[in-house]
Amino acid sequence: EALRQREEREWHNARLRQENARLRLENRRLRRENRCLFRQALLGPGPDKPPADPGEEAEALRAQLGRLQEKHRRALRHLRRCRAAGGPEASGAEDGELDELLLEEDEQP
């Protein structure tokens, strides 16, 4: 019974590590996308594009920010569930960063 439980824990931990790696890649991709979009917003339209209506552009950026914030909240909730399910063995080297993000989310209204 103890061996079976150990194997289950090891399998579960391996699954959590895979999910964690997938989420890290997704997080990296979203950060790159965010930087790119922010850079585009700062630089404005290129010479071949007509200037966009500032009101429309601001509204589009607000909507996009809302979508990104919601993705971020869902990812943090998922990480929190994975951490709770994995127990102390599931914590990794990025615990400090995750704790920081979770604290930031808890502090926001």
In whole angstroms, give the CA distance from residue 104 to residue 65: 17
Query: The dihedral of CA 67, 73, 76, 80: what is its sign?
Result: negative
Contact call for residues 90 and 12 (beta carbons, < 8 A): no
pLDDT in tens, 47-101: 666 656 778 888 888 888 888 888 888 888 888 888 788 755 445 545 666 666 6
pTM: 0.40
pLDDT given for residue 52 in this prediction: 62
Q: What is the tens place of the pLDDT at every residue in 9-55?
A: 999 999 999 999 999 999 999 999 988 888 887 776 666 666 567 78
